[in-house]
Chain A
Amino acid sequence: MLSRNFRLQRVGNLEWLQRNYNFAHIAFFIDELTVLDVTRGERNPDAFCDALKALTAGCFVPISAGGGVRSVAQASQLLRSGADKIVVNSPLFDRPGLVRELAQEFGQQCVVGSVDMKRDRAGGYRIITESGTRLVEQEPAGALYWLNEQWVGELYLNSIDRDGTGQGYDLALLDQLPADCSVPVIMAGGVGNGAHLAVGFADSRVDAVATAHLFNFVGDGLQRAREALVNQGARLAVWPALSELAVALNESMATA
């Protein structure tokens, strides 16, 4: 699903994704994958977990999953379906007790806090939850108190305004965080090309850069962006190309 300013665009099912966006290939250029159930209305957790298993079967990096997580049992089901970490959003603001429970049950490093922000009329920022339908009253720095509570291992920070636009990150979101935030930040919302990823990476407050824009899954843009970042000195993990692996595997088959 591609989101554009929080209006969802239906793009197709899993097969469509694999056929048209060559996800099996792209999966080898990312450090981590996040899969969110953005279904409006009644969700089907079993169907989502089946889709998650299928999607992640060829993806050999850490996987975060979420969207509508409302219980420890649901989180457990995701962890059995290929997820290494659970993503929570609305519960951070309306059921923090659940977030604490998830951290206690699975470990703080297993919980990713996802926060969507948008600019308000006055030019400040507000947090928005429940699939973009609910504004959190409190100003962000206060509402994000839980960043210091050891419940969340990472923060996924997304700009609603930039999401799907391809215009680049809104780095001003970082100014809304509490001053002493020690939780690693994954920046999201707005990446249209590799240069946007580099700009995000260059900000010392950003620990990881994310893109959900499927356009970035086409061709070799993501691969080239990764290579450019490494050449610019970014300390990204390095691994051999899939083609090298295939050669090595075929060799070991021949001698088996």
Chain B
Amino acid sequence: METALHGSLSMSGQLLIVDYGMGNLWSVQSALRYLGRDPVVSSDPAQVAAADTLILPGVGSFHKAMDALHAQELTEALAEAVLGRRRKILGICLGMQLLAEKGTEDGECQGLGLIPGSVDRFTREELGLLKVPHIGFNHVSATQQNRLFKGIASPADFYFVHSYRLLAADLPGEPGLCRYGVEFLAAYEHENIFATQFHPEKSQTNGLKLLNNFLAC
């Protein structure tokens, strides 16, 4: 199999994909390997707490995911790595949503509290005739300040599949925006917290570039 990069990047430290039983780990792994990295996939709280760089993927229900993170003692491990040791984390799709304060899917519950706001379903008023889930490629706009979008056109196309969304109101960090009936938070970054509602590992070269930007910053 050919890869775009030859040799390895000189960055040190363990790149870890958090496995809590939900999410297409293989695709995320494949994308990172394509970029010349060798990620570890782990559900071990000790490894997660000690990791250098974290990726939190996710597909499915917010509530089920938070239950899984709690049950596997991963919430404390993530707090240690991200808040304690200030390591950088990228939340993807449901993984982005889990970084929020709370979610209302399958009953309200607390998220990891790293991004202000609540994850709620697209409303009928917002959607009009549009259907849920929001599925397919859509345009994402970002600014010069967004480290994730360095060297990526604005707007650029990324692949979405979700029924719930965060809105972009009053956030301390830099948003990436997309419109689906309503303008919602497509990406976010603030200090060591990074997140995308879209799937960079499913967004062809735009996504690979974004993943590489995350790894490099």
Question: Which A residues are closer than 8 A to B by beta carbons?
Answer: 18, 24, 28, 31, 53-54, 56-63, 79-82, 84, 107, 109, 153, 182, 237-242, 244-246, 248-250, 252-253, 256
Residues of chain B within 8 A (CB-CB) of A109 are 133, 135, 161
Residues B212 and A249 in contact, CB atoms below 8 Å apart: yes
Contact for B30 among A56, A238, A245, A252, CB less than 8 A: A56
Residues A80 and B26 in contact, CB atoms below 8 Å apart: yes
Residues of chain A within 8 A (CB-CB) of B180 are none
Residues A57 and B137 in contact, CB atoms below 8 Å apart: no
Residues A60 and B26 in contact, CB atoms below 8 Å apart: no
A13 → B minimal CB distance (Å): 14
- Residue B201 at the A interface, CB < 8 A? yes
B57 → A minimal CB distance (Å): 12
- Residue B58 at the A interface, CB < 8 A? no
Residues A81 and B216 in contact, CB atoms below 8 Å apart: no
Total contacting residues, chain B, CB less than 8 A = 43
Given contact pairs A58-B2, A153-B135, A248 touches B34 in the complex (Cβ within 8 A): no
Residues A60 and B207 in contact, CB atoms below 8 Å apart: yes
Residues of chain B within 8 A (CB-CB) of A61 are 159, 202-204
Chain B residues 12 to 71 lying within 8 A of chain A, measured CB to CB, are 24-27, 30-31, 33-36, 60
- Residue B88 at the A interface, CB < 8 A? no
Residues B9 and A60 in contact, CB atoms below 8 Å apart: no
B28 → A minimal CB distance (Å): 10
Residues of chain A within 8 A (CB-CB) of B1 are 18, 24, 54, 57-58
